[in-house]
Structure 1
Amino acid sequence: MAPNTGITAGTSGGIDQSMLHTGKWWQHGYIIKLNLLLLVPLITSYANGFDGSMMNGLQSVPHWQAYFNHPKPEDLGLFNAIQSIGAFVAIPLSPYVADGLGRKAGILLGATIVMIGAVLQTATQNLGMFVGSRFLVGFGTTFAQMASPLLISEVAYPTHRAPLTSLYNSLWFSGSIVAAWTTFGTFRIDSDWSWRVPSALQGLSSVIQLLFVWFLPESPRWLINKGRDEQAKNIIARWHADGDISHPIVAFEYNEIKEALALESEAARINWLDLFRTPGNRRRMRIIIGIGVFSQWSGNGLISYYLFKVLDGIGITNPTDQTLINGILAIYNFIIAITASMNVERTGRRPLWIISTAGMLVSYAIITAMSATYENTQAVGAGRTLLAFVFIFNGFYAIAYTPLLVSYTVEILPFLIRAKGLAVMNFSVMGAIIFNQYTNPIALDALKWKYYLIYSCWLIFEFVYIWLWAAETKGRSLEETAALFDGEDAVSELTNRTGHDMAEGGHRVARGEKSPIDSHDEKLNLETSHREHAA
């Protein structure tokens, strides 16, 4: 699956263009250095993307199969699900590390745990050790995945935040590619190292992070929240103004952060019931939980973790062929995901959701038919057609669920419930993954091609669901997006009371004046507006 970061990318927003760099960004050494350093948190997705592809590849490696005594379907479910279980357990803990100890500390802790897990996985002596090491990999990855996108969005140069955060999501496939081609090369080794080498490489990104995380700037937002304002200003100046502390962008960003923190103090009063208290919020949760579950229950989990069993079912049993297909599929997915990410704003959200779901439905129906045909007739053409539609299915999945799962969730959530809404999405995704990883190998072994039929029917439900409730958010402000769910009347008073003051506040900040949100009266107005909005 494509990774789920839980973070929205910022843009240059209301910054006066005269504050930004002149010429091309690559003509400025400080921006180049910053972007190179941000590769450290960007590669966090590597370990998670590596996992699914590695498990696909290892299940085609004879020495791995022999070492674990040809695992039964229920054992395969445990092997795959335990990494997700580790990640699930860490979700409630990870925000406290990122917020309490800092973004860099979250990356450092996560990288350390993942590296320990990778070492133990490489040195595995028995089934219990293999399962435990994979739990550690999932547990550690969650800490790094919480902190990394936060750091990227809070440290990146203003005009680079959106593309860099989108790139973070898509780099999930970088690990997938390395794992797929590593297992393609190492399965020929006539020893246990045919599977131990890929296991060791799962910790590669963590080693890089442990070496270079010390050179990363800490989040100015986190520093200001901890009362370390001068340190935050110096970081903004160094990386966004080439060290010029008097540059207008420094004062603007500093005061913008202060405004956001003032607003977030209001968000602390929101409880989980507020996610379902109003009709508008219930509509949001219906979509968010839906796309979270659909991102894993569209049949993609079967292909992501059990491709070798799918290939076995159509007569492609040679390990060379299986690992080669796994490697090619990883590159193909990466290309589609990057292309889709760059065109989300141009195409719009609703068309992408509809095209993606409809395409998956048609593709999976053909996969089901070809699987049944091959099982009954052993026709080579049916097997080849099924393989072609495995690629087509993955392409349709990547055009919406990779770029939109996180960004669309963020767009439709009001600020005051955004963090908790994102947590709901994360839990729905991880819950669906764990269920799938236990169920898929057992059901596929018992039902054969008929199991595809279940997903084909489910995809019909998904298409109707998306058609009815996926709203278009392209080109809308946050206030206009809120109106889609709450109605114009419900947001008009909030917009009237705060919209003008917030816009004017941006101009004041740019002039170095005090933000209106710093005042006690403004806080009271925001509180009143929120209560009336919720009612």
Structure 2
Amino acid sequence: MKRTPTGTWLPSWVPQSTTNISALLLFLLHGELSGGYDGSMLNGLNILPSYTDYFQLTPATTGLNTASIFIGSILGPLFAGVAADRLGRRPAIFWGTLITLMGVVLQTAAQNIAMFVLARVMLGFGAQISGVAAGVYLSETFPNRWRAWGVGLLNNFYYVGALIAAGITLGTGEWQSTWAWRAPSLFQGIFSLLCICILPFVPESPRWLVHRGLYEEARTVVAQTNSDGNLANPIAIAVYKEILDTIEFEKKEGRSMSPLEIVRTPVARRRVLVGMSAGPFSCIAGNIIASYYLGDELDTAGVTETRDQLKANVVLNVWCLLCALTGTHLAANWGRKPTAMLSQTLLIACLFVIGGLSKIYADDPEGASQHLIYGDVAVMFLFQGFYSLAWTPLLYLYPPEVMNYSIRANGLAFSAFGLSALALLLVFVMPIGIANIGWRMYMINGAWDIAVLILIAVFWVETKGKTLEEIDAIFEGHKHSSVPDVELVRKGEAMVDVKLVEGEMRHEQLRRG
């Protein structure tokens, strides 16, 4: 371990192995561990009589208890981007995680709906602060060749947390006390504690350090995360020079870190609209129903026993995790855009099939065959898996790739805001919609998913195999550095004149004073 300057109050002791650093970075996936845990836990709690009876829930208060986390999720992004830019990526993760932990404690101790809702608002607020900062941090810190996996796993871990929660609620579901739902809530805090313990052992974002003028510190981090600490490695030199040149170009252009920068120029607006679309598109895809109201969804298919629904919750999360990992592989090797289009096409087909089968069951519940029920449940499970193929890894992977440094944190926060605003509406409305129009909800959802598929096909760009700086060429016509593309250097298809680049960087350093 080597002490590495971070330019912040939060110190860092970093291993001198790129592989070990990348492994430690994976522990910062706590935000989606907690988010997945929360969604699955609420799925389980909404099935448990000990929870619904304790709060005397109606369809409206069930929606309020569940959706209140998105009130905090709407407020959090208003501060998340600014916090990540001003405080540093790691300190922003720390403060967001601490707020989340406080929300967990309050939720566990809740005595009434008001206390439960307040706790969930805090949970959502803290999770968005740390989630936005983590998404930006991981995209800026992971070496390019591992970025799809490193950042894609941020949201894939949603299902790891969900699986843990499903198992815990299945185990506590038969307890004859309020600890049947309080215990699962308390366990949610473990992920936040783990993150706080790991933060001192990972470096600060090299791009944030360069923007702050901490050039040597940034170069050290680039070497640590790309070449086992070797400052003279050609790949580390190429990565650092791209970062240095690009951020210097943005400064000369007068690009600020203000939230208004995301709408200042046509290029910025295009980058934000393309990048932030992943949030709303994933939200309206249709998974809200199974993510928070699996019990209601299974009721429409004829699976009504509490124990059977809890078991289905466990199986569903195992299946979704496997699909999310498959989707990350596709995004890394096939590309972000084709993976999204494949997933969206499969989702549309599933929604119309689910709607049709649910209508048949609703027309004659007593005469419905077991084959119909099992078929409906099977397609529901397929739907969640197909959703996980693209939207789970791409939700945090795609936005920071598309946005350049000056708008990255605020742009990702804007994306999170759009997602949370829609989620607040949909999570509250879905149980009411299912109760009133049943199978028609699936048909409506399938129709708007067709529009989303068209938008992806027309407007999305491909970012596979490029560093964050090289993606500038897609939007601005050229990248802002003269060094060869990093992947070409890695593959031996291009060479970096290390002495020449070192001389250029020394000259630039003297010029800056």
Please, what TM-score do these two structures have when normalized by structure 1?
A: 0.79
Equivalent residue number for residue 415 of structure 2: 425
- Which range moved further: 504-513 or 373-382? 504-513
**Which of these residues, 327, 333, 337, is aligned with residue 314 of structure 2?**
327
Task: Report deviation, 1:262.
Answer: 1.4
**Separation (CA, whole Å) in 2 of partners of 1:254 and 1:479:** 10
**Which of these residues, 370, 374, 391, is aligned with residue 357 of structure 2?**
370
Q: Do the aligned partners of 1:356 and 1:399 also contact (CA within 8 Å) in 2?
A: yes
**Separation (CA, whole Å) in 2 of partners of 1:311 and 1:511:** 61
Q: Do the aligned partners of 1:252 and 1:512 also contact (CA within 8 Å) in 2?
A: no
- Map 1:254-293 to 2 at 5 A: 255-265=241-251, 266=253, 267-268=255-256, 272=260, 275=263, 278=266, 287-288=274-275, 290-293=277-280
Residue identity opposite 2:445 in structure 1 = Y
Task: Report deviation, 1:376.
Answer: 1.6
Task: Report deviation, 1:183.
Answer: 0.8
1:344-388, CA deviations, whole angstroms, 9 ceiling, x for partnerless residues?
244344433332222111111111111111112120332221111
Residue identity opposite 2:376 in structure 1 = L
User: The residue matched to 2:283 in structure 1 has which SS?
Assistant: coil
**Separation (CA, whole Å) in 1 of partners of 2:277 and 2:257:** 26
**Separation (CA, whole Å) in 2 of partners of 1:211 and 1:200:** 18
**Separation (CA, whole Å) in 2 of partners of 1:377 and 1:331:** 32
Task: Report deviation, 1:256.
Answer: 4.7
- Map 1:279-318 to 2 at 5 A: 287-288=274-275, 290-318=277-305
Q: Do the aligned partners of 2:107 and 2:120 also contact (CA within 8 Å) in 1?
A: yes
Equivalent residue number for residue 373 of structure 2: 383
Are residue 337 (structure 1) and residue 338 (structure 2) matched?
no
Task: Report deviation, 1:252.
Answer: 5.8
**Which of these residues, 393, 413, 421, is aligned with residue 403 of structure 1?**
393
**Which of these residues, 190, 200, 208, is aligned with residue 176 of structure 2?**
190
**Separation (CA, whole Å) in 2 of partners of 1:216 and 1:187:** 38
Are residue 178 (structure 1) and residue 164 (structure 2) matched?
yes
Task: Report deviation, 1:481.
Answer: 7.2
**Separation (CA, whole Å) in 1 of partners of 2:222 and 2:279:** 35
Q: 1:292 to 1:219 in 2, by over 3 A?
A: closer
Task: Report deviation, 1:397.
Answer: 1.4
Q: Do the aligned partners of 2:354 and 2:380 also contact (CA within 8 Å) in 1?
A: yes
Equivalent residue number for residue 154 of structure 2: 168
User: The residue matched to 2:47 in structure 1 has which SS?
Assistant: coil
Equivalent residue number for residue 138 of structure 1: 124
1:442-462, CA deviations, whole angstroms, 9 ceiling, x for partnerless residues?
222222223333223323333
Q: 1:208 to 1:92 in 2, by over 3 A?
A: same
User: The residue matched to 1:60 in structure 2 has which SS?
Assistant: coil
Q: 1:57 to 1:438 in 2, by over 3 A?
A: same
**Separation (CA, whole Å) in 2 of partners of 1:173 and 1:311:** 19
Residue identity opposite 1:125 in structure 2 = Q
Equivalent residue number for residue 47 of structure 2: 60
Task: Report deviation, 1:137.
Answer: 1.1
Task: Report deviation, 1:402.
Answer: 2.2
Residue identity opposite 1:395 in structure 2 = G
Task: Report deviation, 1:147.
Answer: 2.6
Are residue 38 (structure 1) and residue 25 (structure 2) matched?
yes
Task: Report deviation, 1:249.
Answer: 6.6
**Which of these residues, 382, 390, 400, is aligned with residue 392 of structure 1?**
382
Task: Report deviation, 1:331.
Answer: 1.1
User: The residue matched to 1:218 in structure 2 has which SS?
Assistant: coil
Please, what TM-score do these two structures have when normalized by structure 2?
A: 0.82
Q: 1:144 to 1:383 in 2, by over 3 A?
A: same
User: The residue matched to 1:313 in structure 2 has which SS?
Assistant: helix
- Map 1:447-526 to 2 at 5 A: 447-470=437-460, 498=480, 500=482, 507=497, 511-515=501-505, 518=508
User: The residue matched to 1:93 in structure 2 has which SS?
Assistant: helix
Number of residue pairs the alignment of both structures matches:
485
**Separation (CA, whole Å) in 2 of partners of 1:478 and 1:29:** 24
Q: Do the aligned partners of 1:41 and 1:149 also contact (CA within 8 Å) in 2?
A: no
Residue identity opposite 1:447 in structure 2 = I
The gaps in structure 2 that reach 5 residues or longer are 1-14, 486-493
Equivalent residue number for residue 79 of structure 1: 65
Q: Do the aligned partners of 2:355 and 2:440 also contact (CA within 8 Å) in 1?
A: yes
Q: 1:351 to 1:252 in 2, by over 3 A?
A: closer
Residue identity opposite 1:185 in structure 2 = G
CA RMSD, aligned part only? 3.6
**Separation (CA, whole Å) in 1 of partners of 2:498 and 2:216:** 21
Equivalent residue number for residue 200 of structure 2: 214
**Which of these residues, 175, 189, 202, is aligned with residue 188 of structure 2?**
202
**Percent of matched pairs sharing the same residue:** 32
**Separation (CA, whole Å) in 2 of partners of 1:421 and 1:209:** 24
Task: Report deviation, 1:309.
Answer: 0.9
Q: 1:38 to 1:340 in 2, by over 3 A?
A: same
1:167-209, CA deviations, whole angstroms, 9 ceiling, x for partnerless residues?
2231122111111111111102121111111101111101112
1:220-267, CA deviations, whole angstroms, 9 ceiling, x for partnerless residues?
444444455555555556666556667677666555543343134233
User: The residue matched to 2:363 in structure 1 has which SS?
Assistant: helix
Q: 1:83 to 1:118 in 2, by over 3 A?
A: same
Task: Report deviation, 1:290.
Answer: 4.8
Task: Report deviation, 1:511.
Answer: 4.0
Q: 1:520 to 1:377 in 2, by over 3 A?
A: farther
**Separation (CA, whole Å) in 2 of partners of 1:160 and 1:75:** 43
Q: 1:509 to 1:385 in 2, by over 3 A?
A: farther
Task: Report deviation, 1:303.
Answer: 1.5
- Which range moved further: 224-233 or 348-357? 224-233
Q: Do the aligned partners of 2:44 and 2:169 also contact (CA within 8 Å) in 1?
A: yes
User: The residue matched to 1:343 in structure 2 has which SS?
Assistant: helix
1:282-303, CA deviations, whole angstroms, 9 ceiling, x for partnerless residues?
7666655654322111221112
Task: Report deviation, 1:310.
Answer: 1.1
1:28-83, CA deviations, whole angstroms, 9 ceiling, x for partnerless residues?
973343234223312232111111111111111111111111x1121122112211
**Separation (CA, whole Å) in 2 of partners of 1:252 and 1:499:** 9
**Separation (CA, whole Å) in 2 of partners of 1:82 and 1:344:** 32
Q: Do the aligned partners of 1:262 and 1:517 also contact (CA within 8 Å) in 2?
A: no
Q: Do the aligned partners of 1:43 and 1:205 also contact (CA within 8 Å) in 2?
A: yes
Residue identity opposite 2:121 in structure 1 = F
Residue identity opposite 2:187 in structure 1 = L
**Separation (CA, whole Å) in 2 of partners of 1:357 and 1:245:** 43
Task: Report deviation, 1:307.
Answer: 0.8
Q: Do the aligned partners of 1:340 and 1:399 also contact (CA within 8 Å) in 2?
A: yes
